[in-house]
Every structure is written in structure tokens, then in C-alpha cells.
Structure 1
């Protein structure tokens, strides 16, 4: 049975996000991109374009967990493509060498497009050791979006098992939940869909197994979340895109660990585009969890962020941005 053990602290470095924002004020547990540059380089840098990160449509989080004298590092998604990932890692001074596991949240290009590059960079730093890579079988299905005129718009595939294996990944391809690092982190299995309003990604289809046609795939059942349990706080849930619906995600996290309070949720809430219609129900649903931190980013959208800050206030609502570092 999968389990989750308390850790002393969790640090989350945002390597890729849709937004860059180093000027807005932040609470004490968050460091901006500029502040990080200043802390690392002190007086030995000049502010200019060549030191800045690039925002891109996607998400990548470097999660570092500490318990006693033990430190474990997890890469959760990579964003959409090699150049942005490599540039941001370099400019942030992020060390990928300690990464001991990679989790792809779901099979969409904006989360897995730079996976092969990430593996190369990790293995360049770790002495060539292979890296466990947690995936779901449906992530590797070919997908498309159905347009209003009935045509199919193909969606770029994420790297397949053979390519990942050749690049140094040991692929754990399963629908089941898994504990990582002796219980210090948890990767969910498939997320039950229990709310009436969270209906996935409208218009998404996938190629049938016989390759002869398309079938509806709006639920995106390959999506999983990562959770950690920080001592004295509770569960921090990382939800990359929330195609399952963030309320469904948090309900499943709470059901999986009923004795651990929910503390924070971070990631894309997918309340933009056609999903703007469910912003009121989502905001209402989030009230039930008593969260201390809501850190939305990526595909959440400004309308949803505005609604969330109106409901929960600036002490709870702390949006993501590339280069930000959260310390829990």
C-alpha cells in the first residue's frame, strides 16, 4: 500500500510557468526570481535580459524534500520544449544532479516536451546514473482536439517509452499510486471523478487502439498529482493541470490520507478557456478544504485567479511564476 511520511521541509522551485513576475510583493516563504539571483550572485551580476528566465505555456517544478539528514529531489514535469527548460535551469542556477525521480503528470506536450533534454541534463550531472520515471500507460496515446468544423487538430506526443529508456529513464508505467523515497513523496493513481461540474478537457480525443479512428478522451484519466506531507503543516498537493478538476484532486488527496490535513495546493487549475464557466463552482468547492496556501499558475487564467483572490485573500492566494521558490 502506498504511504506518505512526514518530511521536515519541502522546497519548490518553479522552472517553467506561463508567467514571469519578479516585481510583485510575496510572503516570507516565497522568493522571487530577482531575489534568488541577488542571493546567489550578490554583487557580481548586472540586471539585464541575459540573466532572466523565459515564461512559456507549461509547468515544471523542482521539488526538494528534507527529513533529518536525508535530502531527496523530484522533477515534476518539464514544460513544453528544450530551449526554455535548459535556459531557465541555467539562469536559475538549479542543480539537476540530485534528481532521483521524474514524474510526468499527464501526456500533454506542455508538461513533457522537454523530458529527453531533462534526462540528459540530469545524467550529465549525476555521473550517468539512470533515473526512475513515473508514467501512466495512457500518456503515450496519440491525441487530437476536435475543432468546431469537425476536423481534428493533432497534439504533439510526449516522448515514448523507447525514447525515454534510450535516454536513461527506468520507466515505471502504471495506473496505480506509488510511494517515492521511502514514503517521503506520493504519486497518485487515477483520480476519481466525483463532482458534477468538472468534466475534463472539452473536445479532446485519442486514437483508438486499432489506429483506425478517434474516441472521446475528455477525462484525461492519465493525469496524476504528487503530494508531500510537511511536518506541522500537512499535505501539499501538486496538480499540474487539473484536467481531473482541482476539487476532485483535493477530494482524492483527502480520501487517500484522511488523517493528514490539507495545507496547500499548487499548479495549474485549468480554469481558462472553455473551463471559465466552472470558476464559480470551483471557488465554492475549494472553500471546503481549509487550505492555508493556494498557488495557482500555468493554465489557471487571470479570471480564475481574480475570483480566487477575492474569495480567499492575498494571505492564501500566492500565484506561481517562473523562478519563484516556495519553502514549506
Structure 2
């Protein structure tokens, strides 16, 4: 079992998310975009100072241990313009990023990968950026439409493209510890529940590149975890195509003896997966989570069901929010 080091504290900045929300009340450990901007010196509000919401997810996760600080970029959202605008508006220093984890091979998480690499290198003196990926996420993907036609997704940048933009690509299917052993990147997530069935209708290119084959499980998906002093394990799951209960079950197995404090990210309980909301809520109860931060693809019905079930533990994500643990 890999021994994840304990961080004294952790900060998460939501660089890209599907929603913007500066009006809802937040718990003490969460800061809204407006509050962050006010602290940075902004005194006149306008659209020119606000972040942009977009269909996707990107988080900057920073962990402190003593005098040591490490920052990981978890996904990059769907679009260069959105990513660059939000980084600038939030005043986030890309030079702090020491590595990137791409959670899985979908465009809404990888769209700004190449620009993010350039932005990091412009601030870090041109050093290569370790970029952690599952080897299976480069296969072309598509959704099968009701009429039987395929609706292709934009591909994740190729290995050559990533390297040309400064990535030191690290492929793995097994779990690993990175950045001073303060970050855990999972291996492939076992599917153990009956109601979490992946993304039905998704296909990927066959090995010969000539046809399509069903790919609902998206086995290249991984999660990231940190261990916070006095709290426990916090899990970051970008989309939960594996199912958030499967994700948390695997996290519990990976960190036996350590409490699971929270989960943050997309839970993919919108659209055709909304039928799994009741089972998912019930499946999360045994983990006794103190923080549930639904984001991205979770969907409003699931957020409502989670809030009704778990009350103040639920702190929905939004672009520009900062979480401090």
C-alpha cells in the first residue's frame, strides 16, 4: 500500500466549472470568487473582472507540509480562452504548478492542456512539466445518436503534441504518489455497484481505427487524493464516470485506517444517469463525509438530493471558489 504523506493544509481553487455562483451562502472554509477579488484589491464590479463558466472542470490543488509547498493542476477545462481568462481574473500564478493530472480522455477536461503547459513554462523558467495520464485516453471517442450515427468528441492532445508543448508525459495504469508524496493518483477504478453503469452510448475507435466499439466504462478515469492533518482523505473526482460510490469505495480500500473527509468534483448524475441518484445518495451515507462538493456534470437534481440528505456537508463548487482544508 502506498503511504500518502500528510499535508498540514490544502487549498483548492476552482479555475473552471459549469456554473458561476457568488450569491449563495458558503461555509467558513469556502471563499467565493467575489470575496477573493475584493481581498485582491478590486473595488469596482463589472463583467470585465468576473470568471467565465463553461462545461468542464479544472482545479489547482496546493498542499503545504512544513516549509514545503506543492501545486497540482487537475484537468484544464474545455477551452483555452475560458481557462486563460479565469486564471488571469483569479490572479493564479501558473508558475506554481509542478505537475498536471488529466483525469480521463474527454475534451471538456483536456481542451486547454497545451496552452496550460505553455503558461506554466512561461512562469517556471521553461522547465518541463510532469503530466500524468492513463495510456488509454488517447483513443478517439464518440456518442451514438438515436439514429445510429456517431457524434465524435475532440481528441485529447497526442503524446507528441504534449511533449512539443513542454510536457514530460508519465503514463500509468497503477496508482502512484507524486509531488513529494503529497498527492495520490489512483489506478483504474474497480466497478462494484450495480447502478453505476458508466456513460451509456459512448463508443471509442477500434484498435485498427476503422470502426467503433462500445466504451461505456471509460477505464482510463482516475481520481486524485490528498491527506490533510486533523481531517483525513479528500478525494478529487473530475467526472465520476466510474460512479462516485465506486470512487469512494476504492478510495476507502486504498487508504484503509484513514478517515475519508470529503469528495469534490463531478458526480455525473445528470441526464440519462439521473435514475441512479437515490442509490448514489444511499451509497454515500456509510462514508460519513464532512465535505461533499459537487461540480461540473453532477446536475441540479442530484445537488438538490445531496443537500436534502447531507445538509451542511454539501458545499457545491462554482468557478472562482476557493476551498481551504
> Offset of 1:183 from its aligned partner?
1.4
> Offset of 1:260 from its aligned partner?
0.9
Alignment of 1:220-299 (within 5 A): 220-299=218-297
Q: Is the 8 A contact 2:182 2:226 kept in 1?
A: yes
Partner of 2:30: 30
Query: In the aligned structure 2, how far is the partner of 1:230 from the partner of 1:183?
Result: 13
> What runs of 5+ residues in structure 1 fail to find an aligned partner?
none
> Offset of 1:2 from its aligned partner?
3.1
Alignment of 1:148-227 (within 5 A): 148-227=146-225
User: Structure 1 length as normaliser, TM-score?
Assistant: 0.98
Q: Is the 8 A contact 1:61 1:76 kept in 2?
A: yes
Query: In the aligned structure 1, how far is the partner of 2:91 from the partner of 2:180?
Result: 28
> Offset of 1:182 from its aligned partner?
2.6
SS at match of 1:97: helix
Partner of 1:324: 321
Partner of 2:8: 8
Is 1:68 the counterpart of 2:58 in the alignment? no
> Offset of 1:280 from its aligned partner?
0.4
Q: Is the 8 A contact 1:3 1:186 kept in 2?
A: no
Runs of 4+ with deviation above 2 angstroms: none
> What runs of 5+ residues in structure 2 fail to find an aligned partner?
none
Partner of 2:98: 100
SS at match of 1:14: strand
> Offset of 1:45 from its aligned partner?
3.2
Query: In the aligned structure 2, how far is the partner of 1:3 from the partner of 1:253?
Result: 13
Partner of 1:300: 298
Query: In the aligned structure 2, how far is the partner of 1:86 from the partner of 1:221?
Result: 29
Q: Is the 8 A contact 2:70 2:180 kept in 1?
A: no
Query: In the aligned structure 2, how far is the partner of 1:299 from the partner of 1:98?
Result: 28
Query: In the aligned structure 1, how far is the partner of 2:216 from the partner of 2:132?
Result: 22
Partner of 2:43: 45
User: Structure 2 length as normaliser, TM-score?
Assistant: 0.99
Deviations 1:111-156 (A, max 9, x none): 0000001001110110111000000011100001111111111111
> Offset of 1:5 from its aligned partner?
1.0
Query: In the aligned structure 1, how far is the partner of 2:3 from the partner of 2:244?
Result: 21
Q: Is the 8 A contact 1:268 1:297 kept in 2?
A: yes
- The partner residue of 1:81 within 75, 79, 82 is 79
Is 1:121 the counterpart of 2:123 in the alignment? no
Kindly report the root-mean-square deviation, in angstroms, between the aligned alpha carbons of the 2 structures: 0.7
Query: In the aligned structure 1, how far is the partner of 2:185 from the partner of 2:3?
Result: 10
> Offset of 1:24 from its aligned partner?
0.9
Query: In the aligned structure 1, how far is the partner of 2:38 from the partner of 2:256?
Result: 41
Is 1:311 the counterpart of 2:309 in the alignment? yes
Query: In the aligned structure 2, how far is the partner of 1:269 from the partner of 1:178?
Result: 23
SS at match of 1:306: helix
> Offset of 1:46 from its aligned partner?
1.2
How many residues are matched? Answer: 325
SS at match of 1:182: coil
